[in-house]
């Protein structure tokens, strides 16, 4: 631990970063906070009832009610802290579709360094874990209206995030290559596959195992991340990005419970130089990930008739999604997503009955209409095939509207 | 022991800070690259982020752009919010302290120009893709380019003082060439011409060369025109008989073709940046732009 702090200290304070007088621009203004608001609403219907929808549309910002869902209303506040740091905060509001209760989430709040040497960048605060493609991105940056099934299974309803720090290194190579290492708290409802929380396990116990509260005793009781991204321009109009990610940390099943998650992601984009307002385009995205959830032994009960005695077992799950989105004419895009998830090692009541571990596939065609960069309407059909469903299948249609106002959004890759 | 090794390594890394033989410059737009080439000559190494035929409003921050920015000694851009969609992201992700806002190496060319069409009242996005600091398409204005070239030469001379004289000399020859060209361009008979334009792209050119833009195919900047607007525009065109309907290579071609067919007024696609259609530098760009308007 001491060593971590020592490295941090050296990096932060041994290199001067120079701020200089601001050149007088014809009319300057003091930019304090850039504010933006993004809202996602949806309406739709499904062949399964609302209770079942909570499982098959398991993302916290997925459309998940017959009728309407307030998926995600995000307030973003960003700004320069000083010449060395940039600050960012994202606060999310949504309504629980079943109870109507308003929920608030501190989604992210962190600082990013601007001037560390040697291609280094440090982020510290509370933030999304940089695993794969979908997890670190906010719901309004996703092309589809719901999060992939495998993300819901591994990272819970609201994505994996927590307090900690992360160091990114843009490596001195001829192509774009970025290495991330990170460390975050393992506990809390947004750390589903790790120490999680009792409330989370009441709703979605992994493998139906009981929750065991644990103390942080050593550095290994936190979650550790390693991620590497590489990007190449394959042609002037085709760019590829390939990432590999790994996570390691303790889990909620007891003393020697451990989780490892690893995965690979690929993004391929075609954007011809001759475009009309960004059209046409073709985006191919895919992620595959696997989780080894080593559950600890568990023994409980004073009454010899009612003893719970669970053996140590590693529950293995994996899954992927692959999606293609084609912007075929200005303002319009059509897409298709396919997903699959499965596993091995039994849940306590059988894997087939476990909505978050059973064999499942989903096909989702999508049609998007973008009025401008700031608003869009999407219609999506989901065909679900899942072992735990009574008829093993479900059909759902979701129509969503999104609008944003405030500071201009960044065109990130 | 481990501490000592790490500390030594970090110190060593700090020492290998190579003094640059050439100034590594990242420019956002091709025309900026062209002016920097005139001033910097072989003392600078230029990377241009945006391709000549791309729409400068809709650029995505590709990882390769971030990589270029991370290695830059200097970043030179158009400003007036034209690059707002991607440049802030590139600067933040570059981890390059040299090109952060507020430093001399972060050179916003618009600080040297007199921006026109600065909104005199509050604006918001109901008015379309409004640029609140004024019209950002000033690169077709010789008078403004004169000032930008001076600003670039000044900054280069200051940052790379060993070659200050070289940059000054290049600026003088740039001015000589510009003076000659301006005489040539001044003899073009564009005065009293009237045009309908697709986008607010030619305003600086119009004010310097004395022609008029009497209407726009885009009703609001960046928003495709409605059918009603097009109908009214057809009437305007028929009544006022402009000399041509003008647009740039990246969009509006279809709209111009359609209106041209409907009204019999010729449509002209004007090259919008260096590099498109074998345009090798900014002077050639101006030559071609003015030729196509004649």
Q: Which residues of A touch B85 (CB under 8 A)?
A: 373, 408-411
Q: Which residues of A touch B95 (CB under 8 A)?
A: 113-116, 119-121, 168, 170
Q: Is A375 or A6 the better-scoring residue by pLDDT?
A: A375
Chain B contact probe: residue of A29, A85, A170, A269 with most B CBs at under 10 A: A170
pLDDT of residue B33: 98
Q: Select from B93, B95, B104 the Cβ nearest to the Cβ of A116.
A: B95
Between the CA of residue A297 and those of A160, A257, A313, A315, B257, what are the distances in Å? 26, 8, 8, 13, 75
pLDDT of residue A86: 95
pLDDT of residue A4: 59
Chain B contact probe: residue of A28, A282, A411 with most B CBs at under 10 A: A411
Between helix B227-240 and helix B253-263 the angle, nearest 10°, is: 50
Please say if the pLDDT value at position A130 is more than 50.
Answer: yes
Q: Select from A27, A236, A412 the Cβ nearest to the Cβ of B51.
A: A236
pLDDT of residue A20: 35
Please say if the pLDDT value at position A13 is more than 60.
Answer: no
Q: Which residues of B touch A3 (CB under 8 A)?
A: 2-3
Q: Is A86 or A22 the better-scoring residue by pLDDT?
A: A86
> How large a percentage of chain A has pLDDT more than 70?
93
Cα–Cα nearest to B91, from A126, A159, A202, A86: A86
**In CATH, what is the architecture of B17-184?**
3-Layer(aba) Sandwich (3.40)
Please say if the pLDDT value at position A132 is more than 60.
Answer: yes
Angle CA(B284)–CA(B285)–CA(B288) in degrees, nearest 5?
85
pLDDT of residue A273: 83
d(CA A55, CA A388): 10
Are the C-beta atoms of residues A277 and A303 closer than 8 Å to each other?
Answer: no
Residues B234-274 pLDDT 10s: 999 999 999 999 998 877 888 899 999 999 999 999 998 99
Task: Give the domain ranges of chain B.
Answer: 17-184, 189-293
Q: Select from B57, B95, B251 the Cβ nearest to the Cβ of A119.
A: B95
pLDDT confidence tier of residue B69, bands split at 50, 70 and 90:
very high
Q: Which residues of B touch A22 (CB under 8 A)?
A: 101-102
Please say if the pLDDT value at position B18 is more than 70.
Answer: no
Contact A3 B67 (CB under 8 A): no
Q: Which CATH number fits domain B189-293: 3.60.20.30, 3.60.15.10, 3.40.50.300, 3.40.50.1980?
A: 3.40.50.1980
Contact B60 A80 (CB under 8 A): no
For residue A169, what are its two tokens? Answer: 């290194």
Residue B19, C-beta contacts closer than 8 angstroms, at least 6 positions apart: none
Cα–Cα nearest to B100, from A112, A180, A88: A112
pLDDT of residue A71: 96
pLDDT of residue A266: 98
Please say if the pLDDT value at position A12 is more than 60.
Answer: no
Q: How far A356 CA sits from the closest chain B CA (Å)?
A: 35
Residue of A nearest to B85 (CA): A410
Q: Which residues of B touch A374 (CB under 8 A)?
A: 125
Contact B55 A278 (CB under 8 A): yes
Between the CA of residue A80 and those of A233, A314, B115, what are the distances in Å? 31, 46, 26
d(CA B260, CA A361): 52
Q: Select from B10, B67, B84 the Cβ nearest to the Cβ of A14.
A: B10
Residue A174, C-beta contacts closer than 8 angstroms, at least 6 positions apart: none
Please say if the pLDDT value at position A139 is more than 90.
Answer: yes
Cα–Cα nearest to B224, from A407, A370, A412: A370
ipTM above 0.85, yes or no: yes
d(CA A8, CA A4): 6
Residues B177-208 pLDDT 10s: 999 999 999 988 898 899 999 999 999 999 99
pLDDT of residue B131: 87
- Mean pLDDT, chain A, as a whole number? 92
- Helix, strand or coil for residue A171? coil
- Helix, strand or coil for residue A163? strand
pLDDT of residue A62: 97
pLDDT of residue A276: 83
Q: Which residues of B touch A7 (CB under 8 A)?
A: 6
- Mean pLDDT, chain B, as a whole number? 91
pLDDT confidence tier of residue A18, bands split at 50, 70 and 90:
very low
Alpha helix stretches (DSSP H) within A204-256: none
Lowest-confidence segment of A75-89, A297-311, B77-91, B105-119 by average pLDDT: A297-311
Burial B171-192, CB ≥16 within 10 A → b, else e: beebeeebeebeeebeeeebee
CB atoms within 10 A of CB A304: 6
pLDDT of residue A1: 52
Between the CA of residue A379 and those of A44, A143, A326, B84, what are the distances in Å? 9, 11, 15, 30
Q: How far B16 CA sits from the closest chain A CA (Å)?
A: 10
Residue found under tokens 């600091």: B133
Please say if the pLDDT value at position B3 is more than 90.
Answer: no
Residues A368-385 pLDDT 10s: 999 999 999 999 999 999
Q: Is the dihedral of CA A345, A155, A385, A69 positive or negative?
A: positive
d(CA B42, CA A219): 53
pLDDT confidence tier of residue B19, bands split at 50, 70 and 90:
very low
Are the C-beta atoms of residues A132 and A266 closer than 8 Å to each other?
Answer: no
Counting every residue written for chain B, the total comes to 294
Counting every residue written for chain A, the total comes to 413
Phi then psi for A77, rounded to 5 degrees? -125, 115
> How large a percentage of chain B has pLDDT more than 90?
77
- How are strands ordered across the β-sheet holding B212-216? B212-216, B194-197, B244-248, B267-270
User: Using CB atoms within 10 A of its CB, is residue B164 exposed (0-12), middle (13-18) or buried (19+)?
Assistant: middle
Q: How far B192 CA sits from the closest chain A CA (Å)?
A: 31
Cα–Cα nearest to B150, from B135, B168, B163, B177: B168
Q: Select from A20, A277, A374 the Cβ nearest to the Cβ of B102.
A: A20
Q: Which region holds residue A305: left if phi is over 0, alpha if psi is between -120 and 50, else beta? A: alpha
Q: Is the dihedral of CA A152, A156, A161, A164 positive or negative?
A: negative
d(CA A121, CA B95): 6
pTM of the complete model? 0.90
Q: Name beta bridge partners: A249.
A: A259
Domains B17-184 and B189-293 share a fold: yes
H or E segment and range at residue B4: helix B2-15
H or E segment and range at residue B14: helix B2-15
d(CA A395, CA B222): 39
Between helix B142-159 and helix B30-40 the angle, nearest 10°, is: 60
Contact A120 B95 (CB under 8 A): yes
Residues A323-371 pLDDT 10s: 999 999 999 999 999 999 999 999 998 999 999 999 999 999 999 999 9
| The CATH number of domain A33-406 is 3.90.550.10 | no
Please say if the pLDDT value at position B97 is more than 90.
Answer: yes
pLDDT confidence tier of residue B55, bands split at 50, 70 and 90:
confident
For residue A241, what are its two tokens? Answer: 């990005």
Please say if the pLDDT value at position A281 is more than 80.
Answer: yes
Contact A411 B103 (CB under 8 A): no
Please say if the pLDDT value at position B146 is more than 60.
Answer: yes
Q: How far B70 CA sits from the closest chain A CA (Å)?
A: 7
Chain A contact probe: residue of B2, B63, B114 with most A CBs at under 10 A: B63
Residues A224-272 pLDDT 10s: 999 999 999 999 999 999 999 999 999 999 989 999 999 999 999 999 9
d(CA A185, CA B102): 36
Whether the ω angle into residue A280 lies within 30 degrees of 0, i.e. cis, is yes
pLDDT of residue A14: 45
pLDDT of residue A9: 52
Between helix B164-186 and helix B142-159 the angle, nearest 10°, is: 180
pLDDT of residue A6: 56
Please say if the pLDDT value at position B138 is more than 60.
Answer: yes
Cα–Cα nearest to B54, from B250, B221, B248: B250
Please say if the pLDDT value at position B135 is more than 80.
Answer: yes
Residues A33-56: what's their mean pLDDT?
A: 96
Bridge-based pairing of strands A161-170 and A120-128 is antiparallel
pLDDT of residue B58: 87
d(CA A128, CA A141): 14
Lowest-confidence segment of A136-145, B37-46, B244-253 by average pLDDT: B244-253
pLDDT of residue B12: 53
Residues A168-217 pLDDT 10s: 999 999 999 999 999 999 999 999 999 999 999 999 999 999 999 998 99
């Amino acid at each position: 631990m001491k060593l971590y702090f020592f490295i941090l200290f050296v990096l932060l304070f041994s290199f001067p970063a120079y701020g200089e007088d601001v050149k007088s621009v014809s009319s300057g203004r003091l930019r304090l906070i850039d504010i933006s608001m993004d809202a996602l609403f949806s309406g739709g219907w499904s062949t399964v009832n609302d209770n079942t929808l909570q499982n098959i549309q398991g993302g916290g910002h997925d459309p998940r009610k017959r009728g309407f869902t307030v998926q995600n209303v995000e307030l973003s506040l960003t700004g320069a802290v000083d010449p060395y740091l940039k600050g960012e905060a994202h606060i999310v509001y949504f309504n629980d579709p079943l109870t109507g209760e308003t929920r608030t989430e501190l989604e992210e709040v962190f600082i990013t360094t601007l001037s560390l040497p040697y291609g280094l960048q440090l982020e510290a605060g509370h933030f999304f874990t940089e695993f794969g493609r979908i997890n670190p991105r906010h719901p309004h940056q996703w092309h589809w209206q719901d999060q992939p099934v495998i993300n819901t299974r591994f990272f819970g309803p609201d994505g994996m995030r927590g307090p900690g720090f992360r160091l990114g290194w843009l490596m001195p190579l001829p192509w774009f290559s970025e290495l991330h290492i990170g460390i975050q708290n393992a506990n809390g409802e947004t750390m589903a596959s790790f120490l999680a929380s009792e409330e989370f396990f009441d709703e979605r116990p992994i493998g139906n195992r009981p929750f065991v509260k644990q103390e942080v005793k050593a550095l290994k009781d936190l979650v550790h991340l390693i991620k590497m991204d590489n990007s190449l321009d394959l042609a002037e109009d085709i760019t590829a990005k390939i990432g590999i990610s790994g996570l390691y940390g303790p889990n909620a099943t007891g003393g020697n419970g451990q989780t490892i998650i690893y995965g690979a992601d690929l993004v391929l984009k075609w954007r011809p130089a001759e475009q009309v307002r960004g059209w046409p385009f073709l985006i191919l995205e895919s992620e595959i990930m696997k989780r080894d959830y080593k559950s600890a032994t568990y023994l409980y009960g004073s009454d010899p008739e009612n003893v719970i005695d669970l053996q140590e077992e590693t529950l293995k799950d994996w899954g992927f999604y692959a999606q293609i989105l084609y912007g075929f004419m200005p303002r319009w895009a059509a897409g298709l997503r396919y997903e699959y998830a499965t596993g091995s090692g039994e849940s306590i009541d059988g894997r087939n009955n476990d909505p978050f571990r059973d064999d499942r596939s989903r096909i989702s065609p999508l049609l998007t209409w973008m009025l401008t960069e700031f608003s869009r309407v999407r219609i999506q059909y989901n065909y679900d095939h899942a072992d735990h469903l009574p008829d093993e299948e479900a059909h759902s249609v979701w129509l969503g509207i999104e609008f944003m106002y405030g500071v201009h959004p960044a065109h990130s890759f | 022991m481990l501490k000592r090794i790490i500390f030594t390594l970090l110190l060593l890394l700090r020492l290998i800070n190579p003094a640059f033989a050439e100034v590594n410059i990242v420019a956002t737009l091709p025309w900026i690259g062209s002016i920097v080439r005139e001033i910097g000559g072989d003392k600078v190494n230029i990377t241009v982020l945006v391709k000549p035929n791309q729409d400068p409003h809709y650029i995505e921050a590709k990882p390769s752009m971030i990589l270029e920015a991370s290695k830059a000694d200097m970043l030179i851009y158009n400003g007036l919010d034209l690059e707002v969609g991607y440049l802030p992201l590139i600067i933040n992700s570059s981890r390059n302290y040299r090109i952060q806002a507020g430093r001399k190496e972060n050179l916003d060319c618009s600080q040297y120009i007199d921006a026109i069409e600065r909104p005199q009242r509050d604006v918001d996005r109901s008015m379309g893709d409004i640029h609140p600091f004024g019209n950002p398409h000033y690169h077709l204005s010789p008078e403004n380019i004169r000032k930008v070239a001076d600003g670039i030469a000044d900054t280069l001379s200051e940052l790379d003082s060993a070659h200050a004289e070289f940059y000054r000399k290049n600026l003088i020859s740039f001015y000589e060439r510009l003076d000659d060209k301006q005489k040539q361009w001044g003899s073009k008979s564009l005065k009293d011409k009237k045009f309908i334009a697709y986008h607010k792209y030619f305003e600086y050119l119009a004010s310097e060369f004395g022609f008029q833009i009497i209407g726009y195919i885009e009703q609001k900047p960046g928003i495709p025109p409605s059918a009603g607007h097009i109908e009214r525009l057809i009437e305007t065109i028929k009544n006022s008989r402009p000399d041509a309907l003008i647009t740039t290579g990246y969009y509006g071609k279809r709209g111009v073709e359609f209106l041209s067919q409907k009204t019999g007024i010729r449509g002209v696609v004007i090259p919008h940046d260096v590099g498109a259609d074998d345009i090798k530098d900014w002077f050639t760009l101006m030559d071609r732009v003015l030729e196509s308007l004649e």
